[in-house]
Amino acid sequence: MHQCGSLPAAQARPRPSPKAPRRGCTGAASLLPAARAGGLRSGRRALPAARATPSAGDARVVCLGEALYDYLADQKGLPRDQVASWTPYPGGAPANVATALARLGVPAAFVSALGRDEMGERMVELLKERGVDVSGVQRSDAPTRDVYVVRALNGDREFAGFGLDSGAYCDTRVDAAALPLDRIQGAELLVTGTLGLAAPATRAAMDAAVAAARAGGAKVFVDINWRPVFWPQPEAARPVICAYLEAADLVKISDADLAYLYGMDHRAALKDPASVAAKLPRAAGVLVTAGDEGAAYCFRSSKGEHTGFVPVFKVDVADTTGAGDAFTAGFVYKMLQAGGLERLASDPAALHAAVVFAAATGALTCTRPGAIGSQPTLPEVEALAAKAGAKA
């Protein structure tokens, strides 16, 4: 779910210098940051214009974490210093989940810190256009994050670092004192990742948000989304992430997460998801995802434990960026539709259908490029999920 497929072909552009780019702004006419030292501006495409729309009403789901721009290499099989041009796509896992939920008709809010720069403004406008409540977005003088992503010849993607030091970006500075705690307490679900735990200020805000969610009776969904490039000292991340997971009611864990946190083989986990759930005794539900190898689940309720496996849907893949986040949104949609976590976890048939629906949501996101622009509508997901039912 986390691999990147092919993107539209780019016109040949001059190759940038191998130096790390630096942030700046060329003027109001530009939709992208100015060339950093190394000259990448000429190889970046402008983002489409966004239309502002009113924010959503009271959110049923609050998504807390990063919003950023993935700069995907237009040329495959090259290291970062040899890539000639990059195409920017708005993303960031929590932001992706919020927009995917809104696309499915679920009132969602996004909480983070975004720069006052042009990219931050465009991200806020995009979220508004998608119907996401952005009243909890803090604004910062620090820049909006960009991530450089290179692609192998087979389409696999690899994070190639940032334009600045990771700690220089706005999402490392979420202020706990400025959180919309009433909104979080009034929601049914709080969705977060773990990348923000790498920054002390944002970690404090995430802990405060989890405490507020629990105080208000909301469930907590954590998508681990392990990315070592976000951590100044990756070896120090494991105990921090594991401690944070103790507060989670739902955990989504990928093949890469399994290998890093628990040294587990994902194939064994897909066959026996209960073995993963045993590592997370406080979580009522665990979703194991492994890209094109499918997804498994283990949920515990007052009526017992239910496990299962769901294969991927076969679609024409354009780009798999954001597919895992769409999967999360699809599952949350069905959980809310079922009446909450306990009801869904108590009903084996509904639980399996929820994971099928999640897989369909993720699959459809792969058929178009970009994490947010590719997200499907509810009728599209229902139509694809129905095909799985017809085959059963």
Walk across the sheet containing 61-64 and list its strands: 137-140, 108-115, 61-64, 189-192, 219-223, 250-254, 285-289, 295-301, 304-310
Cβ(81)–Cβ(207) under 8 Å? no
- Residue 58 is predicted with a pLDDT of 84
> The tokens of 384 are what?
């694809």
- Residue 154 is predicted with a pLDDT of 64
- Residue 11 is predicted with a pLDDT of 31
State whether residue 158 is helix, strand or coil.
strand
DSSP helix, strand, coil percent of the chain (3-state; round to 5): 40, 20, 40
- Residue 111 is predicted with a pLDDT of 98
In the chain, which stretches have pLDDT less than 50?
Answer: 1-57, 392
Question: Cα(175)–Cα(266) distance, rounded to whole angstroms?
Answer: 36
Question: Cα(140)–Cα(187) distance, rounded to whole angstroms?
Answer: 25
Spell out the domains of the chain, with CATH numbers in brackets. 41-391 (3.40.1190.20)
Q: How many CA atoms, within 13 angstroms, populate the side-chain half-sphere of residue 272? A: 6
Whats the size of the chain, residue-wise?
392
Question: Cα(80)–Cα(77) distance, rounded to whole angstroms?
Answer: 10
Give the residues across from 62 on adjacent strands: 109, 190
Q: How much is the mean pLDDT over the chain?
A: 86
Nearest-CA neighbor of 98 among 130, 138, 136? 130
